[in-house]
Amino acid sequence: MNGRIICVAQQKGGAGKTTLVTNLAITYLSEGKSVALLDTDPQGSLGKWMDIREETLGENTNLQFATATSYGISRAIRGVGSEVDVILIDTPPKADSDVRWVLRDSDLVLVPVSASQADVWATHDILDLADRTGKPTHIVMNRTRVGTRVGEHVAKSVAELEAMQLKSSLANRVIYAEALGRGLGAIEVKKTGAASDEIRSLAREVSEILEL
- Average of per-residue pLDDT across 179-189: 97
Cβ contact 13:133 at 8 Å: no
What does the pLDDT read at residue 203? 97
Question: What proportion of the chain, given as a percentage, has pLDDT over 70?
Answer: 90
pTM recorded for the entire structure: 0.91
First to last CA, the chain: 11
Mean pLDDT of the chain: 87
What does the pLDDT read at residue 125? 82
- Average of per-residue pLDDT across 152-166: 73
Q: Which residue has the higher pLDDT, 1 or 175?
A: 175
The bridge status of strand 86-90 relative to strand 35-39 is: parallel
What does the pLDDT read at residue 150? 54
- Average of per-residue pLDDT across 51-60: 96
Q: Which helix (H) or strand (E) holds 173?
A: none
What does the pLDDT read at residue 1? 47
CA-nearest of 43, 45, 40 to 9 is 40
Cβ contact 206:200 at 8 Å: no
CA 123 – CA 180 distance, rounded (Å): 24
| Domain locations in the chain as residue ranges | 4-206
- Average of per-residue pLDDT across 191-206: 96
Superfamily (CATH H level) for 4-206: P-loop containing nucleotide triphosphate hydrolases (3.40.50.300)
- Give me the residues paired with residue 111 across strands: 139
What does the pLDDT read at residue 6? 96
Q: Which helix (H) or strand (E) holds 130?
A: helix 117-133
- When pLDDT is cut at 50, 70 and 90, the band that residue 153 belongs to is low
